[in-house]
């Protein structure tokens, strides 16, 4: 059995068709991608205060990562397999560096 491919056919190409979108050109659009993500993962109202105006973006991201438990502390890095020579807090050198320790328990932070 053999398959003959007509060389006159157009080349394959990627087509962007997010669910629920009306059939368009098939070209990728950031707007439809953003809307798809926002629809699939709606923002939680629990964290809306983080994105208030007047707060620097880097502070917003830091607070958001803190609330989501995503700051790259030494305990998290070592859980990913990243070699961490000393897992203890860089300030007090007494306890393992974790989000809880840095923001709530460290006496020197």
Chain residues in the site for Zn ion (CB under 5 A)? 89, 91-92, 106
- Determine which helix (DSSP H) or strand (DSSP E) holds 74, and give its type and residue range: helix 74-79
For Zn ion, the closer of residues 67 and 95 by Cβ is 95
For Zn ion, the closer of residues 71 and 91 by Cβ is 91
Measuring CA to CA, how many Å separate 103 from each of 22, 34, 46, 69, 72?
A: 47, 33, 20, 12, 13
How far is residue 97's CA from residue 77's CA, in Å, rounded to a whole number?
A: 10
CB of 84 to Zn ion, least distance (A): 15
CB of 103 to Zn ion, least distance (A): 10
CB of 85 to Zn ion, least distance (A): 17
How far is residue 97's CA from residue 10's CA, in Å, rounded to a whole number?
A: 57
For Zn ion, the closer of residues 9 and 108 by Cβ is 108
CB of 102 to Zn ion, least distance (A): 7
Per DSSP, the three-state class of 102 is: helix
For Zn ion, the closer of residues 26 and 69 by Cβ is 69
């Amino acid at each position: 059995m053999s398959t003959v491919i007509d060389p006159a056919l157009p080349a394959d190409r990627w087509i962007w068709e997010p669910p629920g979108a009306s059939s368009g050109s098939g070209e990728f659009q950031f707007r439809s991608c953003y809307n798809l993500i926002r629809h699939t993962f709606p923002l939680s109202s629990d964290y809306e205060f983080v994105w208030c105006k007047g707060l620097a973006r880097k502070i917003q991201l830091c607070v958001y990562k803190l609330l989501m438990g995503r700051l790259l502390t030494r305990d998290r890095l070592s859980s990913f397999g990243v070699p961490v020579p000393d897992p203890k807090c860089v300030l007090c050198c007494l306890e393992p560096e974790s989000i809880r320790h840095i923001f709530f328990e460290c006496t020197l932070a």
